[in-house]
Amino acid sequence: MEDYKIKEEIWIEKYRPVRLDQVAGQEEIIERLKSYVATKTLPHLLFSGPPGVGKTASAVSIAREIYGENSWRENFNELNASDERGIDIVRTKIKNFAKTAPIGGAEFKIIFLDEADALTSDAQSALRRTMERFSSNCRFILSCNYSSRIIEPIQSRCAVYRFRRLSDESIKKRLEYIAKDQNLTITEDGYEALIYVAQGDMRKGVNSLQASACIDPGKPISSGTIYRTTATANPEEIKSLIKTALRGNFRAARKELNKLLYEEGLSGEDIVGQIYRAIYEMENRMILELGLSERHIVELIDIIGEIDFRLTEGASEKIQLEALLAHFALSNAD
């Protein structure tokens, strides 16, 4: 019964960092953020970077360490700009929280605005003025995926920290800790699959691990289980598909494609994305084994981009993917 309760928990929440020391893979940034905590001073901050790399965890950890476990929730307000993108969120929720005094003797409160790049230009302009007016008793931490979508006046008022994608070593270390805590056995190819699926996103890696652990409780977690539960093709299957097509065997390549589409249930966009990743990894091997030139590879990447755009616009998956394989088959025909 106890094991059942553990499985029901959401691991990404259970293992979310609560201190800056626990944020993985961003050592340089964390060291600089620790200096703010040590001096109890904080400028406005702007965290930018891809999802699942520790931006939100860092913001919450700063609040926990500055205010302590007893009062950090009262002095910390987290809002998601993607829920309410307009100017009203600045005029109501943000301004109402900013103009109240800090609680428990704190010198300032913190407003954490997640996905701030979703705010409209008018909302960002209003936010700029709010940051100025209430800077004496409120600090802002903004988080975004693309800092270029944040207007320059806000960027100039913030200390900007750019979070990078997590390294394979950082993700594996954290997954090993979770596996040990949950008494899981993960094969070496299982870890490789988790890292492949995560693509530098810790949140995706942890969620993939939990989904795989629930499939066959008590059994070792292998790459097959992970690829099956995350709707991801085995990278070797994708590489085989590419090689078959580049050797001019279109029918065999189409047969492999149909297996991915209909037997494994992958979407066209997922397959295109994995084909792109595989070409990037196979580049040198393709030049040596298949006799491709640099120009050939450039042309392949160009057509992959074109097919990806067509799928995004709603074109037929099967037709577009077969067109991609046909282009591959013809590209090395000479």
| CB-count burial class (<10 Å; 0-12, 13-18, 19+) for 144 | buried
Per-residue b/e over 117-141, b at no fewer than 16 CB within 10 Å? Answer: bbbeeebbbbbbebbeebeeebbbb
225 and 240 together in one domain: no
Picking from 112, 132, 162, the residue at the C-terminal end of a domain is 162
Q: Which pLDDT belongs to residue 274?
A: 93
Q: CA 227 → CA 193, 230, 244, 284, distances in Å? A: 7, 5, 22, 26
User: Coil, helix or strand for 217?
Assistant: coil
Domain assignment of residue 1, yes or no: no
Residue 326 lies in a domain: yes
Structural domain tally of the chain? 3
Q: What is the pLDDT of residue 303?
A: 94
Segments in 52-120 forming alpha helices (H): 55-67, 88-89, 95-98
**Statement to judge: residues 38 and 158 lie in one domain:** yes
* pLDDT tens-digit profile, the chain (334 residues): 344 444 557 888 888 888 999 998 899 999 999 999 998 889 999 999 999 999 999 999 999 999 888 888 888 988 887 666 667 777 777 888 888 888 877 889 999 998 888 888 888 888 888 888 888 889 999 999 998 899 999 999 999 999 999 999 999 999 999 999 989 999 999 999 999 999 999 999 999 999 998 887 778 999 999 998 888 999 999 999 999 999 889 999 999 999 999 988 889 999 999 999 998 888 776 666 777 788 888 899 999 999 999 999 999 999 999 999 999 998 765 5
User: Do 76 and 41 fall within a single domain?
Assistant: yes
Same domain? For 154 and 30 the reply is: yes
Query: To which residue do tokens 């450039």 refer?
Result: 298
Neighbours of 32 (CB within 10 A): 11
Let me know if residue 320 belongs to a domain: yes
Quote the pLDDT of residue 9. Answer: 77
Q: Is residue 255 part of a domain?
A: yes
Q: Tell me which of 182, 203, 229 is where a domain ends.
A: 229
The tokens of 86 are what? 């307009």
pLDDT tens profile 2-51: 444 445 578 888 888 889 999 988 999 999 999 999 988 899 999 999 99
Same domain, 114 and 195: no
Residues 258 and 193 in one domain: no
Q: Which helix (H) or strand (E) holds 47?
A: strand 45-48
Q: Is residue 146 part of a domain?
A: yes
| 8 Å CB contact between 257 and 325 | yes
Report how far residue 210's alpha carbon sits from residue 179's, in angstroms, rounded to the nearest whole number: 10
Q: Give the pLDDT score at 263.
A: 86
The domain spanning residue 194 has which CATH number? 1.10.8.60
Specify whether 143 is located in the same domain as 31: yes
Give the CATH number for residue 125: 3.40.50.300
Are 34 and 153 members of one domain? yes
Q: What is the CATH number of the domain that holds 280?
A: 1.20.272.10
Q: Which domain holds residue 197?
A: 168-229
Q: Is residue 272 part of a domain?
A: yes
DSSP state of 143: E
What are the tens digits of pLDDT across the range 252-284?
999 999 999 998 888 999 999 999 999 888 877
Are residues 31 and 158 located together in one domain of the fold? Answer: yes
Q: Is residue 3 part of a domain?
A: no
Burial zone of 299 (CB within 10 Å; 0-12 exposed, 13-18 middle, 19+ buried): middle
Beta-sheet pairing, 76-80 with 109-114: parallel
202 & 322 share domain: no
Distances 99 to 96, 110, 135, 138, 211 between C-alpha atoms, Å: 6, 12, 10, 8, 43
Same domain flag for 252 and 291: yes
What pTM, to 2 d.p., does this model score? Answer: 0.83
What's the mean pLDDT when you consider all of the chain?
Answer: 87
Q: Are 172 and 64 in contact (CB under 8 A)?
A: no
pLDDT at 141: 93
Which residue among 162, 188, 212 closes a domain?
A: 162
Pair 63, 188 in one domain: no
Residue 17 lies in a domain: no
